[in-house]
Chains A and B, each alone.
Chain A
Amino acid sequence: MTTVLFFVFAAAALGGALGVVLSRNPVHSALWLVQTLLSVAVFFLLQDAELVAAVQVIVYAGAIVVLFIFVIMLLGVDRHESLEDPVKVQRPAAIALGALVLAEIVFLAGHEWATGARTARGAPIEGGTGAFADYNNIERVAHVMFIDYMWAFQITAGLLVVAVVGAIVLARRSGERPEGQEPGTPAPERAGPESGSGQRPDDAAVEEPVGEGAT
């Protein structure tokens, strides 16, 4: 039955991946990607990695794909991109890289790890002495993340604050709303470059920067 599940979702993952590459519409590609990512989440479940599966769904199938869709919508899907590569070597290079990664995965899968973890299902994570021998997978991750890696975790909070501030600084429409402006009233549209002789230089004319991905 596990094998059946595996093959069903393996087919789904592969089909989704093919869909990503072969779809003409980039939005469809993104949706196919969701299928692949969800299938991979099922693989994680089959490997007893519940937390990774949840993260896969929350972050990848959720946040990352949303980000993709936003970028696609930002660029506009109407424009029919020609499928001709401007750089000719791209496609063979991509195939070569893919083959390399595949070889690497196959190689690493047969590898003995010093962590004691093996890649096949059924090999439990080593460790778990004393107090948390009967803890489940997620509780152990929680322990490692919030006790052993507490410092790194707290720095992550700072990192996310940086992401918020950075994104706002870069992606806001026109740098700064005139100060003292009541929040309710809309900012006066800048009349144009000719009106800006005495004011601060007009940055509304600057093209929107794409902003800051924060992963």
Chain B
Amino acid sequence: MLQRAEILGVRDFYRDYFAVAVLIGAALLMVGAMLGAGRLIRPVRPQAEKYVTYEAGSDPVAGWGQSNARYYIYALLFLIFDVEAVFIFPWAVGLEGLGTFGVVEMTVFIVLLALGLVYAWRKGVLRWA
């Protein structure tokens, strides 16, 4: 591994991330181009209504309203499956070296979490009532 650092050195760091930089640049360019084109083509007729924040059809009352505690459970579920994703990420990268054992291991892990999801679903948590 020592060799890797010597061989790669600082310059390769940029080669590694050059693609990332290119992608970011492309993304910025694309968004800019689309918005810019829209701005050039569209007619401009300002009306006060158009500048009101869209909030699911209801009047956005001054400032921010207090949200329902029921949303919280979604945040928690999201968090849990987010953490699951964090585990799957290195597993997917290193799967080659983990072999069958790794596949079995991750299957058990995902099945366990799926069980939690089944529980949530059957308890009616995922349904908006």
Contacts and interface: CB of A to CB of B under 8 A. Distances in A.
Question: Taking the complex as a whole, does A directly touch B, i.e. does some CB pair lie under 8 Å apart?
Answer: yes
Interface of A: 1-2, 27, 45-46, 48, 51, 54-55, 58-59, 62-63, 66-67, 70-71, 73-78, 122-128, 131-135, 138-143, 145-147, 150, 153-154, 156-158, 160-161, 163-165, 167-168, 171-173, 177, 183, 186-187, 208, 210-215
Given A1-B14, A75-B66, A157 B93 contact: no
A14 B109 CA distance: 38
A168 B90 contact: no
In the complex, the 3 A-B pairs of residues with the closest C-beta atoms, listed nearest first = A142-B94, A76-B66, A164-B116
Interface of B: 1-2, 4-5, 10, 13-14, 17, 63-67, 69-73, 75-80, 82-87, 89-91, 93-98, 101-102, 105-106, 108-109, 112-113, 115-117, 119-120, 123-125, 127, 129
Given A66-B79, A71-B72, 20 more contacts: A55-B89, A58-B82, A58-B86, A59-B86, A67-B76, A73-B71, A74-B72, A75-B66, A76-B64, A128-B1, A132-B97, A143-B98, A160-B83, A160-B112, A161-B112, A168-B120, A208-B69, A213-B76, A214-B80, A214-B83
Contacts of A67: 75-76, 79
Overall SS of chain B's interface: helix
A16 to B, nearest CB: 19
Given A77-B64, A160-B112, A211 B86 contact: no
A131 B98 CA distance: 12
Contact of B119 (A1, A123, A168): A168
Interface centre among A164, A172, A213 (most CB of B within 10 A): A164
A164 B119 contact: yes
B118 to A, nearest CB: 10
A161 B116 contact: yes
B87 A156 contact: yes
A86 to B, nearest CB: 22
Contact of B93 (A76, A138, A213): A138
Nearest to A158: B112
A70 B77 CA distance: 12
29 contacts: A1-B14, A54-B86, A58-B85, A59-B83, A66-B79, A73-B64, A73-B66, A73-B71, A76-B64, A123-B5, A128-B1, A131-B97, A143-B97, A146-B91, A146-B94, A146-B102, A154-B109, A156-B109, A160-B112, A163-B80, A164-B80, A164-B120, A165-B119, A167-B76, A167-B77, A168-B125, A210-B72, A214-B76, A215-B83
